[in-house]
């Protein structure tokens, strides 16, 4: 028991010193609430750690805690403003931005809410008018139209107007697979209408994984992003021996969660450790798993 207690205390100290945890807690003003949330995260971390059998894997798990990044609501607004500035500078002659959530054709009919819907609403922020006024080269104020999706009947008008631009938005680009599919569907529609989709569309994401950025670039997709994240593959590319052990450890821990075999290293084996408002399934399962089996992930992914 003493050994387990000592281990728990060691994990507690390691966890409470994490920058991402401090960043989470800084969002709260009530000290009592801060302590409650801190204790939940620490207890979940201890539970995962205690149930890892191999000592080497336990140490690697603790190392992985150091790789976690978190985006808070404050980060969302900061990155949104950054992306808006880039958008204005890259498209200075555009007078109307049509803001649309990044959704595949048909997904707008689904009842579930995708993250792009949330980000699209943020484009109503009053900050943009202040940004425009504070930049000499951005004095003219463009019209911003936020839509859930673009009706085919309106797409022709957008294609024919050189001063209008479709801006697909999301908070996070992971592997890039979904984004490429959605982009190509709209690109094909614009092409059929005789338009040049390279001039009519751009994708804005608050943050993106390195693998997603690369994939979109390979597909010729125009992407504006606020923050780039590295996968574990990228972070440990110069230490392949450790990376191999990390993958083995993650796969082992993943057996405690109800995730498909293809998700044991994150969706498309993304090996991501990024915490957004709704934890991406590109992450390793102990960070996000939405189905509680033997134990809880650190950041339960609510809903499907």
* Residues 109, 60 contacting (CB under 8 angstroms): no
Burial 74-103 (b: 16+ CB within 10 A, else e): ebbeebbbbbbbebbeebeebeebbbbbbb
pTM: 0.92
CA distances from 8 to 13, 21, 29, 53, 276 (A): 9, 17, 27, 14, 27
For 303, the 3-state DSSP assignment is coil
Predicted local confidence at residue 102, as pLDDT: 94
For residue range 25-43, what is the model confidence (pLDDT) as tens digits?
999 999 999 999 999 999 9
165: left (phi over 0), alpha (psi -120 to 50) or beta: beta
Q: Would you state the pLDDT for residue 110?
A: 61
Question: Domain ranges in the chain?
Answer: 2-71+232-288, 73-229
Distance separating alpha carbons of residues 77 and 80, to the nearest angstrom: 5
227, 233, 235, 240 alpha-carbon torsion, rounded to 10°: -170
Tell me which of 1.10.3470, 2.60.40, 3.40.50, 3.40.1350 is the CATH number of domain 73-229.
Answer: 3.40.50
DSSP string for 170-235: EEEESSSHHHHHHHHHHHHHHHHTT--HHHHEEEEEEEEEHHHHHHHHHTT--EEEEEEE--HHHH
| Average pLDDT per 10 consecutive residues for the chain, totaling 304 residues | 82 96 95 96 94 94 97 96 96 94 77 85 93 80 91 87 96 96 94 93 98 97 98 96 96 85 90 92 87 74 67
Distance between first and last Cα of the chain: 39
**CA 120 to chain CA centroid, nearest Å:** 15
Q: Are 25 and 34 in contact (CB under 8 A)?
A: yes
The residues that bridge with 228 in the sheet, in sequence order, are 208
Predicted confidence at residue 1, as pLDDT, reads: 46
Going through 45-112 in order, the beta strands assigned E by DSSP cover 69-70, 96-101
The residues, ordered by sequence, that sit 6+ positions from 300 with a Cβ below 8 Å of its Cβ are 279, 288, 289, 290, 292
């Amino acid at each position: 028991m003493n050994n387990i207690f000592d281990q728990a205390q060691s994990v507690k100290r390691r966890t409470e010193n994490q920058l991402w945890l401090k960043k989470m807690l800084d969002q709260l003003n009530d000290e009592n609430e801060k302590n409650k949330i801190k204790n939940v995260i620490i207890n979940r971390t201890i539970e995962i750690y205690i149930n890892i059998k191999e000592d080497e894997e336990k140490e690697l798990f603790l190392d992985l805690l150091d790789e976690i990044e978190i985006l808070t609501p404050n980060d969302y607004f900061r990155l949104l403003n950054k992306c808006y500035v880039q958008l204005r500078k890259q498209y200075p002659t555009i007078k109307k931005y049509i803001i649309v959530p990044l959704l595949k054709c048909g997904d707008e009919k689904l009842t579930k809410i995708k993250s792009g819907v949330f980000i699209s609403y943020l484009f109503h922020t009053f900050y943009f008018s202040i940004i425009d006024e504070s930049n000499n080269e951005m004095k003219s104020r463009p019209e911003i139209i936020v839509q859930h999706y673009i009706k085919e009947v309106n797409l022709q008008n957008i294609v024919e107007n050189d001063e209008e631009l479709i801006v697909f938005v999301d908070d996070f680009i992971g592997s890039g697979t979904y984004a490429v599919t959605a982009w190509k569907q709209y690109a094909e529609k614009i092409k059929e209408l005789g338009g040049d989709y390279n001039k009519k569309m751009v994708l804005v994401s608050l943050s993106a994984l390195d693998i997603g950025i690369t994939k979109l670039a390979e597909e010729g997709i125009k992407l504006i992003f606020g923050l780039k994240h590295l996968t574990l593959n990228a972070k440990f590319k110069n230490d392949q021996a450790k990376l191999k052990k990390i993958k083995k450890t993650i796969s082992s821990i993943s057996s405690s969660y109800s995730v498909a075999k293809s998700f044991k290293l994150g969706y498309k084996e993304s090996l991501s450790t990024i915490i957004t408002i709704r934890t991406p399934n590109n992450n390793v399962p102990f960070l996000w798993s939405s189905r509680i089996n033997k134990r809880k992930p650190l950041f339960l992914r609510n809903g499907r």
